[in-house]
Structure 1
Amino acid sequence: MDFHVTLDGRGDRSTRIYRQLLEAILDGRLRPGERVPPTRELGERLGVARNTVAVAYDRLTAEGFLVGRVGAGTYVYSDGDRPRSRQAPAGADVRPRATWAAAAEPERDTASGLPYDFSAGVPDVGLFPFGTWRRLLRPEAARADYGDPSGLPELREAIARHVGVSRSVRADTDDVLVTQGAQQALDLVCRVLVEPGECVAVEDPGYPLARALFRSHGARVVGVPVDGEGLVVDALPPSARLVYTTPSHQFPLGTPMSLRRRTALLDWARRHGAVVVEDDYDSEFRYSDRPLEPLQSLDRAGRVVYVGSFSKTLLPTLRLGFLVAPASLRPALRAAKQLTDWHGDPIAQAALARFIDEGLLARHIRRATRVYAARHARITAALRDDFARWLEVVPSAAGIHLAARTRCDPDEVVGVARSRGVAIRALSSFSPEVHFGLVIGFGAIPVDRIDDGLRLLAGSFPQS
């Protein structure tokens, strides 16, 4: 093996070789049973006499760390305790800023190991056309130089055309900035718009990672209630610099924002000099009703930043999203994108551009919508018929999850359900103010498991 040894520093050379080999054995870089270089070979590599290396080897052999095998070489001793893993220094005196010191470690969703997974926001990986995607991935799309922070022009053009046709978004190629998912889009918008201490209004209940992201930039985050028409505009704080909303399919309740409320929100933003971030995260999947016009297409004052993602329509692991911003924000957003990660994966971006241009995205969405519609219908019917004494379904006609308000403590139900192999979330995990409710996803669970999963879920409610 090629083992690195440095002879810089004090002490004789044999001692320095000894100490570095010992450290490598103790921290696991040299594993039990692994062969070390012959003394002559290591000596030549280091520019020292063979005997200098032999002295270090002899000392390690005497201490039991190395063992010589006649005719085979010298090996790390393989008996005894397993070496400790190699770790970076603890850095006891190094501390993050106060905002990050108080931040919780990112949650790891453990639901995927359960047989009945009703997690929200998780698409069906089995629907993704892996064969087609592999055909579209072409290494020649890689570049030897740094790319445009806005993304590949052909992808931006394809996205502008796609959202223009499917969602009536008003955009051309220059209006689109490709991001690594919606989360990066929100980060960029906050970077260029919000000063520390300024107010950002978010829906309550709402998307927890958006709330956490705005706070990480030093914003004062204020929750605004949601009713049957969407975000309650009259409850918006007058000082809000930014308003984050999910009007097409409110997350997590699922209700769409009414046209009256959309008009009121745009008028409020104009009067208060605020920017509205419209997160259209999964409205491609619709099961009834004609979708309302996005805020972006209704906006005439240039107050809306439209954020989209392919995490639900395709796969979260692709990390592909985008934003459409007013022209006045584009230079700053491009600069922020360049400072954070410069550009994304050109091979994946080129593949997605071809995927859209060849009509494959539209075909995939139609197919996935049929699958999700069947799951949505089955779950909605079961909840209304078999769960009526415990909960009330919140009307929803899009996306890959739905919500229900409960008449009992949902946290206890979630705990019992998990013990029975059913993954589900309480509405309280999306808001400290909303206590009674469940959020039920249907992207990750096959249709043939829904009935058994719901039966186990029903058994998790109080039976008396």
Structure 2
Amino acid sequence: MELHIVIQGSKDLSGQLYRQLREAIESGRLKAGTRLPPSRLLAEQLGISRKTVADTYALLTYDNLLTGKVGSGTFVNAQAVGQCRKQGHESLASAAIISKWHNISTSLGHPSMDAILRYDFIGGATTRNQFPQDDWRRCAQHALRQTAKSRGLYSQPAGLPALRDAIARHVAFSRGVHCNVEDVLVCHGAQQALDLLARVLVEPGCSVAVEDPGYPPARQSFAAQGAEVIGVPVDAEGICVDAIPEHVRLIYVTPSHQFPLGMPMSQARRVALLEKALRIGAVIIEDDYDCEFRYEGRPSETLQSLDSQGAVAYVGTFSKSLQPELRLGYCILPPALVEAVTAAKQLSDWHCSTLTQWTLAKFIDDGCLQKHIRRCHAIYASRRERILDRFNGDLAHWFELVPSVAGFHLAAQARLPLDIPLLVELARKLDVGLYPLAGFSYQVPPRNGLFLGYGAIETLDLDPALDRVRDILEQIA
């Protein structure tokens, strides 16, 4: 790869080279530690003498911008790198739109590796130590052999037929979803599925109903398309169907494990929601984000399996059953939406990585996914039981858990008027990550409590972490 230097004419060659290299270093375009081409190679590339390049390197070294290492070459000095010039957006014609995106909260984003706490109750993260590396590696090798046979063309926007077929069989077996291969769209996680559905179904000024409290990125995705987002309260049976306005065209729900509170939607409420959606012509997005993990009671029917009129778009993800970094999810589309959402997918990013798709298809077909889910289910069940014991024991004075039978997070509502932000702040100083429930509310009054994810925290770390939480509560109560 050639270094980008432009030499014009035949005058001041050394000066041209010096100024361009210096600007590249001081602006940060050439990062600290970057190795520059040998003087002979750069001279050949630019069509100038080697002495000119060597003299320029020597001058930049004298200016402390470069450093030479005997036997290794010439490198950018770590102390010489400056800051790139940044243009503010205020002067742009699109300033108002840019400001809108600046104001979108990304509070549910996961921290970088160097910011992870010792004991972290973060949601959406999985038990990484249990990931079946050997099985995945074997399936990835199969995927490499499959991609080697390809003609080097773009793949299908809806996803590889092998993976779509595997997903259709998987959701039919595990969740009773009624679908064919043609109904399955592979996407980058559930979030892209929501974004694609919003692109197709939402336009400025239309109304969308969401659970409140609920999943903020879904609400923000709809609002970004110009929708009027209406928060609908939830109770012990799920979304309050009677409170859904008659004029909405889209309804977003998490019926199997309400996000963030955790209770399942009752059967009567599911039937009522379907009836209302059909009557007003609305599409329901059923986000079944962590449906694989159920600990009590009988499995409930999905809205999609109850729907006989094509009103439900069923969204699922492998981020919760495998790893978020894989960025693979799916949407089971009703027939009326298949063509439109597939076109939106093609315009968005054409298709997901075929290498990862082939790997996951093989992983599902070989039974590795079900085996991994069973293993993780046992781990999450033990962690859940330990949290239940503690919040029904020494932490019961301060918190009450919302009944939940699935997933790998729990919601704890405060019994007393606790200062949750202070609790969160003090816990972080003790290397414990806690997350308030209040941030999930939209138009209803915020709930005072904690959102407790137990997918990432190790089982043996639960008691030490909750001991620290208890000690803080005793101090601030």
TM-score by length of 1: 0.91
Residue aligning to 2:138: 135
Q: How far does residue 82 in structure 1 lie from its aligned partner after superposition?
A: 2.8
Residue aligning to 1:164: 172
* TM-superposition CA deviations, 1:193-221 (whole Å, max 9, x none): 11111111111111111111111111111
| Structure 2: runs of 5+ lacking an equivalent | none
Residue 324 of structure 2 is aligned to residue 319 of structure 1: no
- Secondary structure of the residue aligned to 1:249 is coil
Residue aligning to 1:273: 281
Q: How far does residue 348 in structure 1 lie from its aligned partner after superposition?
A: 1.1
- Say how many residue pairs are matched: 461
Q: How far does residue 17 in structure 1 lie from its aligned partner after superposition?
A: 2.1
Structure 1 residues 52 and 261: alpha-carbon distance in aligned structure 2, compared to 1, 3 A threshold: same
Residue aligning to 2:91: 93
| Structure 1: runs of 5+ lacking an equivalent | none
333-342 vs 399-408, which moves further: 399-408
Residue 64 of structure 2 contacts residue 80 of structure 2 at CA under 8 Å; is this kept in 1? no
Residue 36 of structure 2 contacts residue 76 of structure 2 at CA under 8 Å; is this kept in 1? no
Residue 99 of structure 1 contacts residue 215 of structure 1 at CA under 8 Å; is this kept in 2? no
Given the alignment, which residue of 110, 113, 125 partners 1:122?
Answer: 125
* TM-superposition CA deviations, 1:194-252 (whole Å, max 9, x none): 11111111111111111111111111111110100000001112221110000000001
Given the alignment, which residue of 454, 464, 467 partners 1:455?
Answer: 467
Structure 1 residues 370 and 41: alpha-carbon distance in aligned structure 2, compared to 1, 3 A threshold: closer
328-337 vs 95-104, which moves further: 95-104
Structure 1 residues 179 and 9: alpha-carbon distance in aligned structure 2, compared to 1, 3 A threshold: farther
Residue 36 of structure 1 contacts residue 76 of structure 1 at CA under 8 Å; is this kept in 2? no
Q: How far does residue 140 in structure 1 lie from its aligned partner after superposition?
A: 2.5
Letter aligned with residue 91 of structure 2 = D
* TM-superposition CA deviations, 1:28-73 (whole Å, max 9, x none): 52757966643x654433224556657756765776757899x989
Residue aligning to 1:153: 161
Question: RMSD value over aligned CA atoms?
Answer: 2.8
Residue aligning to 2:7: 7
Residue 341 of structure 2 is aligned to residue 356 of structure 1: no
- Secondary structure of the residue aligned to 2:391 is helix
Q: How far does residue 461 in structure 1 lie from its aligned partner after superposition?
A: 1.8
Distance 1:388 1:275 in 2: 41
Structure 1 residues 403 and 37: alpha-carbon distance in aligned structure 2, compared to 1, 3 A threshold: same
Structure 1 residues 455 and 53: alpha-carbon distance in aligned structure 2, compared to 1, 3 A threshold: closer
Q: How far does residue 15 in structure 1 lie from its aligned partner after superposition?
A: 3.2
Distance 1:427 1:176 in 2: 33
Residue aligning to 1:255: 263
Residue aligning to 1:189: 197
Residue 2 of structure 1 contacts residue 37 of structure 1 at CA under 8 Å; is this kept in 2? no
Q: How far does residue 444 in structure 1 lie from its aligned partner after superposition?
A: 1.1
Residue aligning to 1:246: 254
Residue aligning to 2:22: 22
- Secondary structure of the residue aligned to 2:410 is strand
TM-score by length of 2: 0.89
Distance 2:61 2:452 in 1: 62
Letter aligned with residue 294 of structure 2 = R
Letter aligned with residue 4 of structure 1 = H
Residue aligning to 1:233: 241
Distance 1:41 1:364 in 2: 53
Distance 1:435 1:456 in 2: 23
416-425 vs 348-357, which moves further: 416-425
Letter aligned with residue 305 of structure 2 = S
Matches within 5 A, 1:45-444: 45-49=45-49, 81-86=79-84, 93-94=91-92, 96=94, 98-102=96-100, 103-104=103-104, 106-107=106-107, 108-110=109-111, 113-137=116-140, 138-142=143-147, 143=150, 144-406=152-414, 407-409=416-418, 410-432=420-442, 433-444=445-456
Residue 95 of structure 1 contacts residue 101 of structure 1 at CA under 8 Å; is this kept in 2? no
Letter aligned with residue 146 of structure 2 = A
* TM-superposition CA deviations, 1:116-149 (whole Å, max 9, x none): 2111222111121111101100313334110000
26-35 vs 346-355, which moves further: 26-35
Q: How far does residue 446 in structure 1 lie from its aligned partner after superposition?
A: 1.4
Residue 104 of structure 2 contacts residue 220 of structure 2 at CA under 8 Å; is this kept in 1? no
Letter aligned with residue 158 of structure 1 = A
Distance 1:394 1:61 in 2: 65
Structure 1 residues 10 and 457: alpha-carbon distance in aligned structure 2, compared to 1, 3 A threshold: farther
Structure 1 residues 197 and 10: alpha-carbon distance in aligned structure 2, compared to 1, 3 A threshold: farther
Distance 1:274 1:153 in 2: 30
